[in-house]
């Protein structure tokens, strides 16, 4: 037979533990998350000019900048195009949409969506143009990549391995 006092004591202890878990002491967790976000934001201010330089060099958007199977911009697309518009500023440039889609109607609708977004965001669409095409940065050929990779590393079985993949102390 179950002892009624023991059951009530157990329920009381569980209730107290539950109440302690929901107390104000745990409010600090939200502050920690906010502090973490603030630190990330501060870090981004230091690297923003480097990222803008890469954006201007590349000058491209891809399919992930759009909602799948639609002409609407995704959150990533809105962020990237906004940064490109700010980076192009008064110098202007061409945003190139790099895609493997064969649906020309969808490609044209996506290009129009980017143009409309730029205009609605207050960017000068006379100096910032949008077209389908490859990114401006050519990248490097496979042979060039292999040559640079092999020239950058030396030693035994780890020759050619990226530094992050090498054993500790082998760098």
**What average pLDDT does the segment 70-95 reach?**
92
- Cβ(130)–Cβ(110) under 8 Å? no
CA–chain centroid gap for 4, Å, is 58
Torsion of CA 108, 114, 120, 121, to 10 degrees: -170
Q: Read out DSSP for 16-80?
A: HHHHHHTSGGGGHHHHHHHHHHHHHHHHHHHHHHHHHHHHHHH-EE-GGGB-TTSSSB-HHHHHH
Give the model confidence (pLDDT) of 87-111 as tens digits.
888 889 999 999 989 999 999 999 9
User: What domains are defined for the chain?
Assistant: 49-141 (3.30.1330.60)
């Amino acid at each position: 037979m179950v002892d009624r006092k023991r059951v009530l004591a157990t329920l009381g202890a569980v209730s107290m533990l539950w109440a302690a878990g929901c107390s104000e002491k745990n409010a600090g967790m939200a502050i920690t998350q906010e502090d973490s976000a603030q630190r990330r934001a501060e870090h981004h201010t230091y690297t923003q000019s480097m990222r803008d330089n890469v954006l201007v060099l590349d000058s491209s958007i891809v399919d992930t900048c759009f909602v799948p199977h639609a002409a609407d911009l995704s959150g990533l697309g809105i962020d990237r195009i906004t940064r490109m518009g700010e980076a192009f500023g008064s110098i202007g440039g061409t945003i190139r949409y790099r895609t493997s889609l064969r649906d020309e109607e969808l490609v044209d609708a996506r290009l129009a969506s980017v143009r409309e977004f730029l205009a609605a965001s207050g960017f000068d669409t006379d100096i910032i143009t949008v077209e389908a095409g490859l990114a401006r940065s050519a990248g490097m050929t496979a042979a060039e990549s292999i040559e640079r990779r092999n020239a950058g590393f030396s030693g035994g079985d780890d020759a050619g391995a990226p530094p992050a993949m090498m054993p500790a102390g082998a760098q």
